[in-house]
A = this chain, B = another copy of it.
Amino acid sequence: MNKEGILLIVSGPSAVGKGTVVKRAMSLAQERGLPIVLSISMTSRPAKANEKEGSDYFFVSRDEFETAIANNGLIEYNEYNGNYYGTKREFVEDCLEKGQDVILEIDVNGGKQVTDQYKNAVTVFIMPPSLKDLETRIRLRNRDNEDEIIARLATGRKEIAGCGWYDYIIVNNIIEEAAESLLSVIEAEKHKASRNINMIDEVLGDE
């Protein structure tokens, strides 16, 4: 049987609540003893006061980040506001090899970089119930000025319009339901015939 874990990419527009859904799914997974791990991003941004090394991010210098890029040590990365953010290749591949499922909560651009390299990766787009709802969520976070809100909404709109390439779409209406759906996707994908072709020979060959 193919014991390799599932690489699950979770994307969605800014403020859709994908972090909350993923966190809830991770806590349900832990309760149920499911072998799911959340990939921790690496960043060249300095840690904020409440952030912890290795649980919020792996914090590195700009030089270290660029060395990792040069060494093909990242499966995806992006630069925002002068800071790098990326996903460590070694961490992801070690987990998958051990049979652990890995959730990557990354943006649409990062998701595309990963699926180009990992053809078996599973992609999930977290969808707001409506654009109006997305706007409300952005405003409730109270982080952005009006121009930033308009820019975020415009980007969100583009991401939603282009989300047809994802394998799955999960509406984040009720967090608990969205988290359960995410776990169902992982469970179902483990049973895909295409991931279990070796099993046929194993069952037939055991006589």
Q: A191: which of B132, B160, B169 is its contact (CB, 8 Å)?
A: B169
Tell me how far the C-beta of A87 lies from the nearest C-beta in chain B, rounded to whole angstroms. Answer: 23
Which of B127, B128, B131, B168 makes the CB contact (< 8 A) with A192? B168
Residue of B nearest to A135 (CB): B207
Q: Tell me, yes or no, whether A180 is within 8 Å of chain B by CB.
A: yes
A184 to B140, CA, bound (A): 33
Contact with B along A179-191 (1 / 0, CB 8 A): 0110111011101
* A window 154-182: CB within 8 A of B: 157, 160-161, 163-171, 180-181
- Please classify how large the interface on chain A is, using the bins under 10, 10 to 19, 20 to 34, 35 or more: 35 or more
Please state the number of chain copies in the assembly: 2
Do A167 and B181 have beta carbons less than 8 Å apart? no
- Contacts A167-B193, A188-B184; A132 near B204 (Cβ below 8 A): no
* A196 touches B (CB below 8 Å): yes
List residues 106-131 of chain A with CB under 8 A from any CB of chain B.
124-125, 127-131
| Separation of A185 and B184 alpha carbons in the complex (Å) | 7
Q: What are 13 A-B pairs at a CB distance below 8 A? A: A128-B203, A132-B206, A161-B200, A161-B204, A163-B193, A163-B200, A166-B193, A167-B192, A168-B188, A169-B191, A169-B200, A181-B188, A184-B187
Closest 4 CB pairs of A and B: A188-B188, A184-B187, A184-B184, A168-B191
Give A residues with C-beta under 8 Å from B: 124-125, 127-132, 157, 160-161, 163-171, 180-181, 183-185, 187-189, 191-193, 196-197, 199-200, 203-204, 206-207
